[in-house]
Structure 1
Amino acid sequence: MASPLTYTSLDDIQDAVSYLRVNFDTGKTRPLAFRKFQIQQLYDLVKNNEERLYEALAKDMNKPRSEALSGDIAPVLEECLYFLENLDGLAKEEKTSPRLGMHAMDTVKVRRDPLGVVLIIGCWNYPVQLSLVPLVGAIAAGNTVLLKLSEVSAHTAALLTELIPRYLNSDAYRVINGAVEETTYLLEQKFDHIFYTGSPMVGKIVMKAASKHLTGVTLELGGKSPAVITPEADMQTVANRIAFGKFYNCGQICIAVDYVLCPADRLDAFVSAFTKTVKEWFGEDPKTSKDYARLVSVRHVDRIAGLIQNRKSGGIQFGGQVDRDERYIAPTLITDVKFDDDVLMGDEIFGPVLPVITYNSLDEAITMIKKNPPPLVLYVFSKKQKLIEQVLQNTQSGGVCVNDTLMHQAEYSLPFGGIGNSGVGNYHGHRSFRAFTHERGILQKKQQLEFVNKVRYPPYNSTRDAILRNFMVTHPLVVYLKQKRGSIKAALILIVLFLVYLKKRA
């Protein structure tokens, strides 16, 4: 089947970058009124074309309407509304209190300036959310933006390519399309910031390309995100929530549960509960369920099928069926997996296959987690806060969700991003604004009282050094008083109480 997407020529890519640079330099995108209008237009784009977006997502991944709403449409609408309501406050200059005595009479403030020409590289698994949510932040911050859509989810990319020029100002926001050749050429251009969502492997390529221009990056990557079950957990609840975190969008989500660490003596209970959940949700034959998505391409089907067939450990409890023509792989549970199985446990699975590894002590589970690079998210299922804290204090991850899956990403008051191999930087809400903004520190003095400044001018001498030290270094007595202020305050209260007592006795 021919792709509905037309790739952008290399000449047009270069022209788009140059054009956006010229228009940024004119200051066109800086006024808050302009930014708000564009954000409102982006809101209208999604709201007015919601049905068409559902259709495109269904063509690309057979994405159920409910999952398309919660995973693609709603986040963009809500982020637009957030910035329309909060942009004035976010963009306002911040006056700060000077720390140096010599600046007590000066103006000390921070401006929020746009970075410039920003490149956003979207991802195919959530092609609306992962393209447009960062776009909202970049617009709010006052940048011009070149948006590279994912060619893998071609129907959604084609629709957004049609709609964006109708709603957004083409002088400031451009869309390009392409595959490896186009993206490689694109990364040779100079940008002021690159925002990329995708795999760690491609993230390294993006970061290397950005380094040639000393361009800052935000990298939203992935990793093998574990779900740790502690012995006392309610297994049916755990099964429901892990299944949601594994089979949502057919497992094609960077924060999917990649593997489960289950107490050895609770494995049978987990398998029983998990099997029950999957049958209740998708029936005896998930292939016929309207609520079960498809993999995005045959290439991804072949990759996941290869993991199942070539695994070096574990037995299939259910699933494993593959229909290449329909891009279908059944929900699959594999137990008795070895942690050193380099097929199932080598890279992020990114599909509907769930390995289960057993452990005998929580320390053993923590040790296994730490053998992998820090994941994008860590899931913990426990009724005991002490055990939750034990896991959190001894591991690293981009984010954490306790007793649920995926929902931390939907809470935009939290930062979303990875650490180490799972990403650089974070975004959502005001953090998206920060990601695309330069905080410009400003010290503004008056031209009076020049005689005061002579203390810092040559020729230097010991008297001037002593005066300068008093202005720039906190006196040891002040340091002592600050360190002991709790004790001093308590002593003063006792003295006051004693004086009140003496007064009453008199």
Structure 2
Amino acid sequence: MTTIKLPEFSNTSADRIPDIVSRVRKTFHSQKTRPAEFRLKQLRKLYWTIVDHEKELMEACQRDLGKGFFEALATEINWVQNDIIFMTKNLEKWMKDEKPADIPLSNWFMSPRIRKDPLGVILVIGAFNFPIQLTLGPVIGAISAGNTVVLKPSENCPNCAAVMQRIVEEALDPDCFVCVQGGIPETSALLEQKWDKIFFTGSARTAKIVAQAAAKSLTPYALELGGKNPAIVTKKADMRLAARRLLWAKTLNAGQVCISQNFILVDKDVASSLIEELKTAIKEFFPNGAKNSEDYSRIVNIQAFNRIKKMLDNTSGRIVAGGTMDAENLFIEPTVIEVTDPKDSLLVEESFGPLIPVMPVDNLDQAISIANEVHETPLGVYAFGSKEETDKVLAGTRSGGASVNDGFFHGTIPTLAFGGVGDSGTGAYRGKASFDCFTHQRSITTTPSWMESMLAMRYPPFAGTDKLKQYNKMALLKPDFDRQGNKKVSLLWWLLTLGTGSASKGAFRVAVLVGAFVALRMLMGGRVLRNSNGEWLIIQVKS
């Protein structure tokens, strides 16, 4: 069997970092990254370089995390390739200026528009659990938006980091895009530099360090973190489906997924059924045992292994399935634990591993209360049950995202915006959100010189004039509600909807009448416009 030779990982000298940042900033100010064709060419070259190094990337994922070919391709390599293709197909459309909605008539002639400007120089700090996707994904968004980028892959996956550096150096313009390697000293040196945005994926503990460093220079940031994500299973849920879908979410990458459920709250009347279905699903997923499966990943390093082991050692719960560990091979078996205390170590700490605590609850209200108490703003919430029950869960909780009757499916759609809320993160990316994440929406107007006489009301002197009255006629909006907060209904609307019992029918009649009115005035040689108060104005056009 031929062993694939991978490039060696080596730290970038911290002394070089200021010069690297200075170089990519100089390039950004040269306008090199602004044209659409430059961005597209960089993305296309990146795509084919990833294709050329697919085998190395797969080997790197296997060495760093024990990932099998399916996970490496589906959740890392092919994911990034699809992301690039989606970007290249839509980039030129997204780059175009936008016309803002609801602009008052008095401001139409200033041609208000929103221009899509790149932010500048971006720092991307990647994570270890999906080292390819979570590092190159934000980079793709930053390139698409016209920025220059310094990326710092996770040192915990050195093989993936080294292959990504080779890909970046072969595919991308070296004056615009640079890969920096290293651990805490190198990351600290990077955070000492001035950036136009920092994109970080990782733990909340490290995110606080990033945020504090960014605050010193008022640098904006996006933080993609994790959380103690709850799954809630009611009596009306399908236990087999719930078990299989939650087990899938918790065994992908050996549970090292920021968006997987951290614990399951299940109605006590069906708790035993769910546990039995989890046992059955484990046997179906790994018929020869997870340790012998090529599809089951390993824990990233011994530090992470020991942390997960300590959580299991400290639980007051009862192991009902799994529990086997092998420190030498960084293996932890999918482990189901029945717990009864909402303050158990397996609930209040994020396992980031294949531990599956199951806690019986009296009812749905108690489940929602515990979920909110353990983590008020997790990255994901997973509700299983009837529509009425799952709607209640969504209404009673907050989270970055949610999947109903599934485990983190919303996080597997590459074009759906993904991000946390509160202490599970800030900002979102993926799909168009990746372009928006690294773009400044710049509002622009152009005032024609011939409008000077119309704008004279804004110039002093104001005392003793009717300029304020003139201004208010053009710009002051009139309320459509009374002092009690009730919406006003016009006489025409009341007459049109009288006796119908349907506002939608009345609205349709109004639309027909207005359309006929507008068409008639146009035929008579006039223009019909609507001012900022919603009033229809007829401007006669002289031939």
TM-score by length of 1: 0.93
What's the RMSD between the two structures over aligned residues?
2.1
1:455 to partner: Cα distance: 0.7
Deviations 1:341-383 (A, max 9, x none): 1x2222211001111111011000000011123110101111x
Cα 1:467/1:36, change in 2 over 3 Å: same
Tell me the residue number matched to 2:433. 431
Q: Is the 8 A contact 1:337 1:355 kept in 2?
A: no
Candidates 233, 244, 249, aligned match of 1:245: 249
| CA distance in structure 2 between the aligned counterparts of 1:317 and 1:228, rounded to whole angstroms | 19
Number of residue pairs aligned between Structure 1 and Structure 2: 492
Tell me the residue number matched to 2:99. 95
Letter in 2 for 1:111: R
| CA distance in structure 2 between the aligned counterparts of 1:177 and 1:192, rounded to whole angstroms | 20
Tell me the residue number matched to 1:503. none
Matched, 1:274 2:278: yes
Cα 1:176/1:227, change in 2 over 3 Å: same
Tell me the residue number matched to 1:212. 216
Tell me the residue number matched to 1:122. 126
Matched, 1:83 2:90: no
Tell me the residue number matched to 2:473. 470
1:215 to partner: Cα distance: 0.8
| CA distance in structure 2 between the aligned counterparts of 1:441 and 1:483, rounded to whole angstroms | 35
Letter in 1 for 2:187: T
Q: Is the 8 A contact 2:253 2:298 kept in 1?
A: yes
| CA distance in structure 2 between the aligned counterparts of 1:7 and 1:93, rounded to whole angstroms | 42
Candidates 404, 409, 416, aligned match of 1:414: 416
Cα 1:460/1:12, change in 2 over 3 Å: same
Q: Is the 8 A contact 1:111 1:439 kept in 2?
A: yes
Tell me the residue number matched to 1:399. 401
Cα 1:301/1:449, change in 2 over 3 Å: closer
SS for the counterpart of 1:438 is strand
1:55 to partner: Cα distance: 0.6
Gap regions ≥5 residues in structure 1: 498-506
Q: Is the 8 A contact 1:98 1:108 kept in 2?
A: no
Tell me the residue number matched to 1:222. 226
Letter in 2 for 1:332: T
SS for the counterpart of 1:202 is helix
Tell me the residue number matched to 1:285. 289
Tell me the residue number matched to 1:490. 497
Tell me the residue number matched to 1:184. 188
Tell me the residue number matched to 1:334. 337
Bigger mean CA offset, 370-379 vs 144-153: 370-379
Candidates 164, 170, 191, aligned match of 1:166: 170
1:489 to partner: Cα distance: 4.2
SS for the counterpart of 1:458 is coil
1:94 to partner: Cα distance: 1.0
Q: Is the 8 A contact 2:402 2:408 kept in 1?
A: no
Report sequence identity in percent.
Answer: 37
Deviations 1:153-176 (A, max 9, x none): 111001111221011111110000
Q: Is the 8 A contact 2:46 2:167 kept in 1?
A: no
Bigger mean CA offset, 75-84 vs 282-291: 282-291
SS for the counterpart of 2:441 is strand
1:406 to partner: Cα distance: 2.8
Tell me the residue number matched to 1:501. none
1:483 to partner: Cα distance: 5.0
Q: Is the 8 A contact 1:98 1:104 kept in 2?
A: no
| CA distance in structure 1 between the aligned counterparts of 2:473 and 2:321, rounded to whole angstroms | 74
1:409 to partner: Cα distance: 1.2
Matched, 1:133 2:140: no
Gap regions ≥5 residues in structure 2: 1-6, 499-505, 514-543
1:487 to partner: Cα distance: 3.0
1:322-401 correspondence to structure 2 within 5 Å:
322-341=325-344, 343-371=345-373, 372-382=375-385, 384-401=386-403
TM-score by length of 2: 0.87
Tell me the residue number matched to 2:523. none
Tell me the residue number matched to 2:74. 70
Tell me the residue number matched to 2:29. 25
